[in-house]
Amino acid sequence: MARSFRSLTVALWPLLALALACDEVTALPPGSQSFVPPLEYRLWWSMTEACSGLHGSFSSVDWYVVPGTTDLPGTHGEYQGEWFVQGNRISLASAEQFDGSLVRHEMLHALLGVDGHPRSEFLDRCAGTVVCVEECMHDAGAFPDPPAGTPIVSASALQIGVEIQPTPPSATEYDGYFALIVTAHNPADHAVIVRLHPNGNDNLGVSFSYLMGTDYENGVGTFALAYDPQAVFFRPGETKHQIFDMRAGDEYAGDIEPGNYIAFGAFANHNGAAQPITVSP
């Protein structure tokens, strides 16, 4: 069984992922109720399949939620989500039921069929698709030291892009959910370490970010913090990414109102070119 702890997204400020843990408890949390997975879960499942290169039956997973909760009690502290190998079940705290990075973390467990956190999956192939910090990072093991002499470069050495999935996003598809994906590509034929700007906390600094609005001055956005050294190590020709989950709908509910926008992606302090985005009704 794998347990996951929340990621917190705040408009214009940090995208923070807190912790993950695992133990051998097999019973569902008290108060768990089964639910039919919403349409956006199918989108998130396909994203998790894409990053992992694995394919599995979405319908084989049984889903549970504990209403009225932000945390679920456990023997190793509070947590927000868990996957059980017995019955291929996933249980979530209700406050995190639509946290894409956490839900995809549990989906990755279901696709892998393991409750551990292999570094090759959680912090390499699916980094930026699933949340993995604290206990997940500890379980994955330390990132090996880069080869001696690997150059340390500024983020300007990277090529930044923005992708949207699905295209075009629509308020009537996947319950309005879509992903703005910021990519960072190392065009060099050698590995590099990208320099971030530490913020004085237990992270390496800001990695990916985006800004999306109707013009160059007005918009919303957020950023992700890098916690693991692999986040700043780019192999020759490697592309990393960060998914920012969004929803088309009523702006007064915190959604993105249908219309025409421009979006910028960035890694550290290096911005990519503006990309036009149309959000359909």
Q: What is the pLDDT of residue 193?
A: 98
Q: Digits of tens for pLDDT over the chain (281 positions)? A: 554 433 333 333 334 433 444 444 568 999 999 999 999 999 999 999 999 999 999 999 999 999 999 988 764 557 899 999 999 999 999 999 999 999 999 999 999 998 899 999 999 999 999 999 888 999 999 999 999 999 999 999 999 999 999 999 999 999 999 999 999 999 999 999 999 988 778 899 999 999 999 987 788 999 999 999 999 999 999 999 999 999 999 888 889 999 999 999 999 989 999 999 999 99
Residue entry with tokens 């456990």: 74
Query: By three-state DSSP, how is residue 230 classified?
Result: helix
Question: What is the rounded CA–CA span in Å between residue 18 and residue 40?
Answer: 23
Q: Which CATH class is domain 152-279?
A: mainly beta
Q: Alpha-carbon dihedral of residues 267, 272, 276, 281, nearest 10 degrees?
A: 0
Question: What is the rounded CA–CA span in Å between residue 154 and residue 66?
Answer: 45
Q: What is the pLDDT of residue 79?
A: 80
∠ CA 51-56-58 to the nearest 5 degrees?
100
Establish how many alpha carbons lie within 13 A of residue 136's alpha carbon, considering only the half-sphere containing its beta carbon: 33
Judge whether 17 and 7 are in contact, CB under 8 Å. yes
Q: What is the pLDDT of residue 74?
A: 60
Question: What is the rounded CA–CA span in Å between residue 19 and residue 7?
Answer: 8
Q: What is the pLDDT of residue 13?
A: 33
Question: What is the rounded CA–CA span in Å between residue 70 and residue 14?
Answer: 19
Question: What is the rounded CA–CA span in Å between residue 266 and residue 180?
Answer: 12
pTM of the model as a whole: 0.90
∠ CA 190-196-202 to the nearest 5 degrees?
125
Question: What is the rounded CA–CA span in Å between residue 89 and residue 154?
Answer: 43
Burial class (CB in 10 A: 0-12, 13-18, 19+), 170: middle
Query: By three-state DSSP, how is residue 275 classified?
Result: strand
8-state DSSP, 68: T
Q: What is the pLDDT of residue 77?
A: 59
Q: What is the pLDDT of residue 19?
A: 40
Q: For the chain, how many helices (H) and strands (E)? A: 4, 19
- H helix or E strand, kind and range, residue 107: helix 100-112
In the chain, what are the domain boundaries?
Answer: 2-140, 152-279
